[in-house]
Amino acid sequence: MKKRWLARRLLLFILALFVLLYANFERDGGERLSVSGISPAPAARRPPPASEALRRTPRAELRLEDIFISLKTTGRFHGTRLALLLETWISTTKSHTFIFTDEDDDHLKAQGGYNVVVTGCRSDHSQQALGCKMAAEYEGFLASDKRWFCHVDDDNYVNGQALVATLADFPQDGDIYVGKASLDKPITAHELMEGNQTRQVKFWFATGGAGFCLSRRLAHKMSPWARGPRFQETSAKISLPDDCTVGFIVEERLGVSMVHCPLFHSHLENLMLLDRASILQQVTLSYGPLGDKMNSVELKGSFSKEEDPSRFKSLHCLLYPLTRWCP
């Protein structure tokens, strides 16, 4: 009888000891997890090649309507370059694409529904004319309620789905300047100082020909050098055009590094070398003459190269096959 009583007491003691040890293990383990920041969630993805300085945050809730897409053009290209964009990608982003031009257009007015801003800037390709339009674009964005400012030229195709996916991976309340450089090293400029002195500055800039984007927070911080006439004044101080001026303000004045993203493309690169399998994932594409050929992506589509030399129509029909004019 006494042996059975001792056995029961021993068993209860062992069980109590096990419970105590288990509870202590759970508490210590939880503390270790909390201190180290380890989470039972899947391991974080590798940082994107677009930026070594920024790590992607969990994908934000971002809609295409949250992006101010700013298109720079000129009157002589309304019937050619602009007409192609109106027929293709702008048809999917009409309400939040803003067309900045230097010439009024009755035909555009007659079509209705387009956000056309006649800037009053000169129609040439001079530093002053380009800076004038960029200043107007910048002011237009600040006056809007959009979260991102994305500038493109009239020879760019904008893949809205890829644009949203790219921007959603950045901190929405951060200082973000993303695009693609046209040079393989920072540009060198000479900033005009007081007393007619100059100082050498070096900075990266995202080429306007491939398009670039700025977060609202960063755009607001640019104000001391970009609001009103100050953008053109800043441009004149470094004797460089609009896209270089944006890079100067962001990198040199604000100390924010440009995020290099390979998904933006201009006619300055050989677009025929772009991997066909990745074309539908690119944010922007372009086209233009390259010797005696057309510099455009190699893409099998519903239109021949003669019918669609830019390949924009073929690309658009792959992305939006239900478009009424797609074969």
What positions carry a catalytic annotation? 243
Q: Where are the alpha helices (DSSP H) in 99-205?
A: 106-111, 127-142, 160-168
DSSP secondary structure code for residue 81 in this structure? I
Query: Hey, what's the torsion of the CAs at 11, 14, 19, 23, to 10 degrees?
Result: 180
Strand order in the sheet with 115-118: 115-118, 97-101, 67-72, 148-153, 212-215, 177-179, 259-260
Residue 92 CA to residue 160 CA, distance in Å, equals: 8
Dig out the tokens for 97 from the structure.
Answer: 């694409």
Residue 42 CA to residue 39 CA, distance in Å, equals: 8
Q: Any residues with CB less than 8 A from the CB of 92 and at least 6 apart, and which?
A: 160, 320
The count of C-alpha atoms lying within 13 angstroms of the C-alpha of 310, restricted to the half-sphere facing its C-beta, is: 22
Residue length, the chain?
A: 327
